[in-house]
Amino acid sequence: NAGVMQNPRHLVRRRGQEARLRCSPMKGHSHVYWYRQLPEEGLKFMVYLQKENIIDESGMPKERFSAEFPKEGPSILRIQQVVRGDSAAYFCASSPEKRGDEQFFGPGTRLTVL
Amino acid sequence: QKEVEQDPGPLSVPEGAIVSLNCTYSNSAFQYFMWYRQYSRKGPELLMYTYSSGNKEDGRFTAQVDKSSKYISLFIRDSQPSDSATYLCAKSTNFGNEKLTFGTGTRLTIIP
């Protein structure tokens, strides 16, 4: 059973460009979470999605950031007009439908904004 | 005040020593407490989780929770070089299907 897949693993963008980060949850998992890890900081929650629904976006910056988890395909975290402060590792986690199971994390996407 | 406070270290101990990692939290709504291990350039992996005050043991690892003082600890016995990683404490109100609130992580190095 493959784990949580994230791609690309490394992404370099220039200021003002768009970044798209993809996350394929574990098989059978319908809940996806995105976290951001800045250098020397812990993981910060961004958004929690189920298929076609945003459940909790309390950690998402108000501008430039959006997330989706369509009925078919991976979850996408989209950052428009990137700035240097967006440089970080972005981790996706997934969990199954039933409550009481852990979140399994992917290997992360490291975004560098030049 | 951060919801979860954790000493970032770094912490270096000799192989075989007992390691103590600690976190404090401020939100009494947190009911579940987790310890994640993160190797360099990897995603976090769950080591242990606990709900109640007291101790929970799993092999060389012991998680301790004191809800009255809002203090949690992770003890590693007979530490090995392979234990060298960043250890993150995390909290949630429920276990599963909810966001996690993490501490900043403690970087641990076990010296052979």
> pLDDT tens across A51-101, in order?
889 999 999 999 999 999 999 999 999 999 999 999 999 999 999 877 667
Q: Which of A8-12, A45-49, A59-63, B52-56 has the lowest mean pLDDT?
A: B52-56
Q: Is B92 in CB contact (< 8 Å) with chain A?
A: no
Q: Is B26 in CB contact (< 8 Å) with chain A?
A: no
> Which helix (H) or strand (E) is B13 found in, with range?
strand B11-14
Q: What is the CA radius of gyration of chain B?
A: 13
CB contact under 8 A, B44 and A101: no
Q: Is A101 in CB contact (< 8 Å) with chain B?
A: yes
Q: Are A82 and A17 in contact (CB under 8 A)?
A: yes
Q: Which residues of A touch B93 (CB under 8 A)?
A: none
What is the Cα–Cα distance from A12 to A9, expressed in whole angstroms?
10
Residue A100's pLDDT is: 67
The one-letter code for the residue type at A61 is P
* Assigned token pair, B112: 């052979």
Average pLDDT over residues B27-44: 87
CB contact under 8 A, A99 and B94: yes
Q: What is the rounded (10 degree) CA torsion for A81, A83, B102, A108?
A: 70
Q: Is A2 in CB contact (< 8 Å) with chain B?
A: no
The three-class DSSP label of residue B82 is helix
> pLDDT tens across B67-88, in order?
888 889 999 999 999 999 999 9
Q: Which residues of B touch A44 (CB under 8 A)?
A: 102
Residue B68's pLDDT is: 85
pLDDT band at B27 (very low <50, low <70, confident <90, very high): confident
The three-class DSSP label of residue A43 is strand
Q: Are A47 and A33 in contact (CB under 8 A)?
A: yes
Q: Are A83 and A103 in contact (CB under 8 A)?
A: no
CB contact under 8 A, A108 and B43: yes
Q: Which residues of B touch A106 (CB under 8 A)?
A: 43
pLDDT band at A16 (very low <50, low <70, confident <90, very high): very high
Q: Are A3 and A92 in contact (CB under 8 A)?
A: no
Please count the other Cβ atoms lying within 10 Å of the Cβ belonging to residue B14: 9
